[in-house]
Amino acid sequence: MKSSNYTVGWICAIKTEYVAAQAFLDEEHNTSSRRSYHDPNDYTLGRMGKHNVVIAVLPNGEYGKSSAAAVMSHMLHSFPNIRVMLMVGIGGGVPSARHDIRLGDVVVSSPSGGNSGVFQFDFGKSVQDQRFYHTGFMNQPPTVLRTAVAGLEASYERKGHKLRKSIDTALSYNPRLGRKYSKPSWSSDRLYISGYIHGGKLACADGCSSDYLIPRQPRGRQEDDPAIHYGLIASGDTLMKDAIIRDTLAEEHDVLCFEMEAAGLMNNFPCLVIRGICDYADSHKNKEWQGYAAMAAAAYAKDLLKRVSPMTPSSEQAPDEDSSSKSHQGQGNTSADFASEALQIYLSDDAYDVVAQRFLRAAEPTFRVHQ
């Protein structure tokens, strides 16, 4: 299959997320000769529903927005017809009185109140007060994804979801993943009061006092498990491991989740961020829930893609640079010109040439959303 036949990009930060994404492919394709000459990315190609999907992972040991942006840039050069980009993986949840977020739940970036669904932050220079500096909201995900999210949310509210069944099915086809990627025991989902810091190298079950646990009841049969939460995701270059700071930022901005890569993508190629909750962004972090959280996020992403009808790449190939530039010569200030100027403001120089050719040439939308 030609590289131009792939229309969905899917980026993972770590191996666990990459494995989970692969487990939900309905069909895996040969990856030979599918990339640009100077593209260092590792790809898994395949079909998910009716979509041809390109899955990539950040280099081993590299994290954060700059690495994510580099992976995405190479992907867009090698696969010129990508129209939809997903950032799918794990993150740290922010439980509160308003949001009963638990391990294994899924958080979806959802714009509201003028924000894009992703909030970029950095720590201040003062170590003593660890103050946050809001460095800006990102561009919104494309309309086709936001519409699909709304439709899927409505469907889940009326009918419930079958994510657990989807995960079990994926694991049945990949039995080697069972131990690491299955749902851990409910008793291992421990939420401690914010001021209680994990001490030593022992696991929480052995080294932390149960006196500081926040009591919570198991979810009932009529409650979704995993639950899907829609709202603001905070993205920064620092791993969040402080419950006090977590709660402060959550109170100020109603943040539901922390992660480290999305800010590197949103202003280069607006995408949707989907995070499975593997910890509570506190000092009690551990990897026990990472596999299942990654599976939950991937299962949701696959459900979402089912609501988006694919385009037919063969009917609209990406133009080369010469034909693209000629098509705009002598046209004056058209809507495409204004859109081009806007793109240059928001996109990096490297991403602009790639993205502009795709988004400015088509007057008609390339996707439809299943109702």
Which tens digits make up the pLDDT trace of 301-328? 999 999 998 866 644 444 333 333 333 3
Q: Confidence band (pLDDT; 50, 70, 90) for 44?
A: very high
More confident residue, 65 or 292: 292
Q: Is 38 helix (H, G, I), strand (E, B) or coil?
A: coil
pLDDT for position 356: 44
Domain count, the chain: 1
Which CATH number covers residue 83?
A: 3.40.50.1580
pLDDT for position 201: 79
Lowest-pLDDT choice from 79-93, 123-137, 248-262, 351-365? 351-365
**Contact assessment for residue 281 and residue 293, using Cβ atoms and an 8 Å cutoff:** no
Whether residue 40 has pLDDT greater than 70: yes
Mean predicted confidence (pLDDT) in 224-253: 89
Mean predicted confidence (pLDDT) in 34-50: 91
pLDDT for position 313: 67
Nearest to 204 by CA among 275, 277, 289: 289
Whether residue 124 has pLDDT greater than 50: no
To the nearest whole percent, how much of the chain has pLDDT over 90?
51
Q: How far is 124 from 337, CA to CA, in rounded Å?
A: 39
Print the domain residue range for 133: 3-369
pTM of the model: 0.82
Q: Confidence band (pLDDT; 50, 70, 90) for 335?
A: very low
C-alpha pair distances (Å), 359 with each of 36, 270, 364: 21, 12, 10
Q: Is 15 helix (H, G, I), strand (E, B) or coil?
A: helix
Q: Which two three-digit tokens encode residue 52?
A: 């041809």
Mean predicted confidence (pLDDT) in 343-370: 43
Q: Which two three-digit tokens encode residue 150?
A: 């709304």
